[in-house]
Chain A
């Protein structure tokens, strides 16, 4: 394994494979938990942990797992890791885990984790796979924090719980409700497409 490949894998998650914008996967939590920047960050970190570890384990076992039952085996591995993260969060970050609610166990069915396992870890050595998981995880954390920040700043008028605007600011309350999530992500996707086209990248979405 060359050093260049490791570096390329590590940075791919930050733009080339940036979820959920470039890889349109894992939308449910991106919509649901991003009512504030803090929730987005917490969810992103939980997912980054799971995807890094699951990529590492699956890649280490990739020659032992029979091809026919691979998806089931991946799911069992991922579910175990998610249970661990869930228990840890309940123990050390109880208020956050209450806020995120069912979306923590739902990391099991987050397409990003399974997608990276099937698309990357099944074909590459453990260290490289972990780098891929980490980079996609960090990209996801950044995206969720961005979405959460936009919704929190405009919808509540604060950032990480700290007030941003003066009392004269009238918050757009609908941004923290369900429709706000869809519209924020839709517009961000549009901006991202515009940027890609401006850079002349060949990129088709949806």
Chain B
């Protein structure tokens, strides 16, 4: 029951994108079309879960026993950067079209705060292995959900008449704000 509670809270109530404000660069960058958003979402789910497992293992079995927690930031970013490289090589080999579509944003997953943020939140809350797995999965699916919903909105925005100064990022942010307002509605479910 606790795990279900954790999952719901991570997906909806504390949605990583709309309530924790993590991972906005790709959010605004690749959300112009649903297909690219889908590819990005898949890449992020994969990288987030993998990196959470790796960083948790390293933190629990290497850093904490030897009192090296101050190296946390450095270790985490190195693990994430190498994982992203791996995903990039795999994607290049397996799905050329997806690789071309995602282009520069794949490399930017390294500097996506969502991936690093989940790893840091897991470390901060001192979650166990199963809890960590549930949290990372739920968070990244919450991210994917928000990204896809938002991509749908932006496709619609492109054909709407918007005041010139608000076009592009400005209207996208206001839209995200309204979406985030909708997600606040979930707060009664688990707080």
Contact = CB atoms under 8 A, between A and B. Distances in A.
Interface of A: 24-25, 27-29, 31-32, 71-72, 75-76, 79-80, 82-83, 86-87, 101-102, 105-106, 108-111, 114, 174, 177-183, 185-187, 189-191, 193-194, 197, 204-206
A21 to B, nearest CB: 9
A193 B166 contact: yes
Contacts, number: 137
A24 B28 contact: yes
A105 B72 contact: yes
B154 to A, nearest CB: 10
B73 A182 contact: no
Contacts of B111: 109-111, 114
Given A87-B70, A109-B116, A206-B172, 16 more contacts: A24-B28, A27-B21, A28-B21, A32-B22, A71-B81, A106-B22, A108-B73, A109-B112, A178-B19, A182-B180, A183-B178, A185-B173, A190-B165, A194-B165, A205-B167, A206-B170
A4 B87 CA distance: 45
B190 to A, nearest CB: 16
Interface stretch (B41-49, B117-125, B126-134): B117-125
Nearest to A24: B169
Contact of A178 (B78, B116, B184): B184
B77 A178 contact: no
10 smallest CB-CB distances across A and B, nearest first, come from: A206-B168, A182-B177, A186-B173, A186-B174, A183-B177, A206-B169, A189-B170, A32-B21, A194-B165, A193-B165
14 contacts: A29-B21, A32-B22, A71-B107, A75-B77, A102-B124, A105-B116, A106-B113, A109-B111, A111-B25, A111-B108, A186-B173, A187-B174, A189-B170, A205-B169
Nearest to B71: A83
A2 B176 CA distance: 44
A178 B180 contact: yes
Main secondary structure of the interface of B (DSSP, over half): helix
Given A177-B184, A190-B166, A205-B168, A72 B81 contact: yes
A79 B73 contact: yes
Given A190-B166, A197-B164, A197-B165, A28 B24 contact: yes
Interface string B71-96: 11110111001000000000000000
B87 to A, nearest CB: 15
Interface string B135-168: 0000000000000000000000000000111111
B165 to A, nearest CB: 4
A52 B23 CA distance: 24
